[in-house]
């Protein structure tokens, strides 16, 4: 049976990077005997332009029924002044909420070949391997009330940060499970010296942590985490955090790798998984064939791993990316001008990965998986 994949290329560089990822997905599928049924639908600004809504109900329905969802990026200046219920980002929030995607995985790995791309010293970043586990369907993004009102001569705006025990429990369990197959170390991030939600977060994570005696748990305040991520990034293994802190810290962690153009993500829940690069729509370079497609390609690898339980296909894609970087291929965001680097465009980078993958032997035992690869998702929530 072919795997049904809904592709939502979205806005800005979304369509360009998705195209390269699909190319690589197809190559990996051919090598491992899996076929795909792709259905491209609209989400984000492009959907607003076509239908007047950020995402149509039937599109959400199709996603729910698919084997996996692949997303490019949404948003751009054209829609910045739209009323809040008609902003492109609403499409993302609706997908996250309605598909129950409460776990957002953002692996941050530094490639040896790119050690000079980071703004940080090489000795600090070599060997960095962090898994950010971001809670994705709660906190300030979704808490109610949420409104702006006029009070006399000024306006007043309210967002609500809200978490329940069960919401914290389920994401904490995920983090501990992933840690089991890594370095067995969870740093849970909060602001418990100030926030009620953080106090509940800390207490709940502590309690769940007791069920995982083999895992070391440390609590860290979010302001301190922001500092330690740049000071001693190798300290971190699994970084567990609520929605907004995770949004901010994952962009910060991206600079460790050299470019946000390298960061993939998986959003998981009970049913279908959604895969997207962490970078946004980058309207300034949209349509120029210069965006880095690697984050999108690495998101495709995560799709094989988490939606299809095809670890080997995932590893082959990741190895191909590494091989291409070792050969010197560099899109503009990771080009430093050093000898041996080949400046390339979006399409060339995608072609190079697909070609490297095409030449790989799927039965080779040389794929040494990263530790979180072998987690069994029990789906018990
Ligand atoms: C992300 C993005 C989104 C978020 C935006 C586009 C709404 O920054 O996925 O990190 O804040 O969650
Ligand atoms: Mg973000």
Mark whether 251 is an active-site residue: yes
How far CA 95 is from CA of 98, 151, 152, in Å, comes to 5, 34, 37
Predicted TM-score (pTM) of the model is 0.94
Question: pLDDT (tens digit, 9 = 90+) per residue, 100-121?
Answer: 999 999 999 999 999 999 999 9
Q: Of residues 11, 190, 237, 247, which has the active-site annotation? A: 247
Q: Is 214's pLDDT higher than 80?
A: yes
The percent of residues in the chain predicted with pLDDT above 90, rounded, is 93
The rounded distance, in Å, linking the Cα atoms of 381 and 126 is 36
> What spacing in Å lies between the alpha carbon of 55 and ligand 1's midpoint?
16
CA of 213 to the centre of ligand 2 (A): 32
24 touches 297 (CB < 8 A): yes
Cα distances (angstroms) measured from residue 255 to each of 40, 74, 365: 32, 22, 32
Residue 360 has a pLDDT of 87
Q: What is the pLDDT of residue 271?
A: 96
The two tokens of residue 102 are: 């409460």
The alpha carbon of 142 and the centre of ligand 1 are apart by a number of angstroms equal to 13
Nearest CA to ligand 1 atom 10: 247
3-state secondary structure of 307: coil
- At residue 368, the pLDDT reads 40
Q: How far is CA 69 from CA 65, 106, 245, in A?
A: 10, 16, 25
DSSP string, 152-213: TTEEEEEEE----HHHHHHHHHHHHHHHHTTTSEEEEEE-TTT-HHHHHHHHHHHHHHTT-T
The string over 273-297, giving b where at least 16 C-beta atoms fall within 10 Å of a residue's C-beta and e elsewhere, is: bbbbbbbbbbbebbeebbbbbbbbb
By the 8 A CB rule, do 37 and 4 touch? yes
Q: What is the pLDDT of residue 361?
A: 75
82 counts as catalytic: no
**Is the minimum distance from the CB of 89 to ligand 1 under 6 angstroms?**
yes
Tell me what pLDDT residue 375 has.
Answer: 47
Sheet holding 3-10, edge to edge: 36-40, 3-10, 68-73, 273-277, 264-268, 103-109, 129-135, 238-241, 185-190, 216-221
Across the range 178-183, mean pLDDT stands at 98
Of the candidates 117, 53, 115, the one whose C-alpha atom is nearest the C-alpha of residue 88 is 53
Residue of 247, 253, 263 best suited for mutating to test ligand 1, as the one with most atoms within 8 Å of CB: 247
Whether residue 373 is predicted with pLDDT greater than 50 in this model: the reply is no
Res. 377: pLDDT tops 60: no
Q: In which band, very low, low, confident or very high, does the pLDDT at 362 lie, cut at 50, 70 and 90?
A: low
CA–CA separation, 255 and 252 (whole Å): 6
In whole angstroms, what is the distance from residue 341 CA to residue 181 CA? Answer: 35
Residue 251 C-alpha to ligand 2 middle, in angstroms? 6
Which residue's CA is the closest to the ligand 1 atom numbered 8? Answer: 247
Whether residue 381 is predicted with pLDDT greater than 80 in this model: the reply is no
DSSP bridge pairs for 330: 343
Quote the pLDDT of residue 366.
Answer: 42
Coil vs helix vs strand at 71: strand
Contacts of 90 (CB under 8 A, 6+ apart): 54, 55, 84
Q: Are 249 and 139 in contact (CB under 8 A)?
A: no
Tell me: the pLDDT tens digits for 62-89? 999 999 999 999 999 999 999 999 999 9
Average pLDDT on 283-297 reads 98
Question: Using a 6 Å cutoff on CB, does residue 247 contact ligand 1?
Answer: yes
Q: What average pLDDT does range 166-188 have in this prediction?
A: 98
Percent of the chain predicted with pLDDT > 70? 95
**What integer is the mean pLDDT of 335-356?**
97
- Indicate whether residue 15 lines ligand 1 (CB < 6 A): no
pLDDT digits (tens, 9 = 90+) for 26-56: 999 999 999 999 999 999 999 999 999 999 9
- Nearest to 44, CA basis, from 312, 283, 221: 283
Tokens (6 digits) for 6: 């809904």
- Dig out the tokens for 111 from the structure: 């490639």
Kindly provide the b/e burial profile for residues 317-340, where b requires at least 16 CB atoms within 10 angstroms of the residue's own CB.
Answer: bbbbbbbbbeebbbbbbbbeeeee
The pLDDT mean for the chain works out to: 94
Give the other-Cβ count within 10 Å of 212's Cβ: 18
């Amino acid at each position: 049976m072919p795997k049904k994949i809904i592709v939502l290329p979205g806005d800005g560089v979304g369509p360009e990077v998705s195209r390269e990822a699909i190319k690589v997905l197809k190559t990996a599928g051919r090598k491992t005997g899996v076929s795909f049924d792709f259905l491209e639908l609209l989400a984000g600004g492009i959907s607003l332009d076509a239908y007047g809504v950020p995402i149509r109900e039937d599109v959400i329905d199709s996603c729910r029924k698919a084997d996996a969802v692949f997303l490019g990026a949404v948003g751009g200046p054209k829609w910045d002044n739209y009323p809040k219920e008609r902003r492109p980002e609403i499409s993302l929030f609706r997908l996250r909420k309605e598909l129950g995607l409460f776990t957002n995985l953002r692996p941050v790995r530094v490639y040896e070949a790119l050690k000079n791309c980071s703004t940080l010293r090489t000795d600090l970043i070599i060997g960095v391997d962090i898994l950010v586990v971001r809670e994705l369907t709660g906190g300030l993004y979704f808490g109610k009330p949420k409104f702006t009102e006029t009070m006399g001569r000024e306006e007043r705006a309210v967002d609500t940060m809200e978490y329940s025990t069960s919401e914290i429990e389920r994401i904490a369990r995920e983090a501990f499970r992933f840690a089991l197959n890594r370095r067995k170390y969870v740093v849970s991030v909060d602001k418990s010296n100030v926030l009620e939600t953080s106090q509940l977060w800390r207490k709940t994570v502590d309690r769940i942590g007791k069920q995982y005696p083999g895992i070391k748990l440390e609590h860290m305040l979010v302001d301190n985490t922001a500092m330690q991520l740049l000071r001693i990034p190798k300290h971190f293994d699994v970084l567990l955090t609520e929605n907004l802190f995770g949004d901010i810290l994952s962009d910060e962690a991206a600079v460790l790798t050299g470019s946000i153009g390298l960061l993939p993500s998986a959003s998981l829940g009970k049913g279908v998984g959604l895969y997207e690069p962490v970078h946004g729509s980058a309207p300034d370079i949209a349509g120029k064939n210069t965006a880095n497609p690697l984050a999108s390609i690495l998101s495709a690898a995560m799709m094989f791993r988490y939606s299809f339980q095809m670890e080997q296909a995932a590893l082959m894609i990741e190895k191909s990316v590494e091989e291409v970087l070792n050969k010197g291929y560099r899109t503009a965001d990771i080009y430093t001008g050093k000898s041996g680097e080949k400046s390339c465009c979006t399409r060339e980078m995608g072609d190079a990965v697909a070609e490297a993958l095409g030449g790989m032997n799927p039965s080779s035992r040389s794929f040494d998986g990263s530790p979180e690869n072998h987690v069994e998702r029990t789906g018990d929530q």
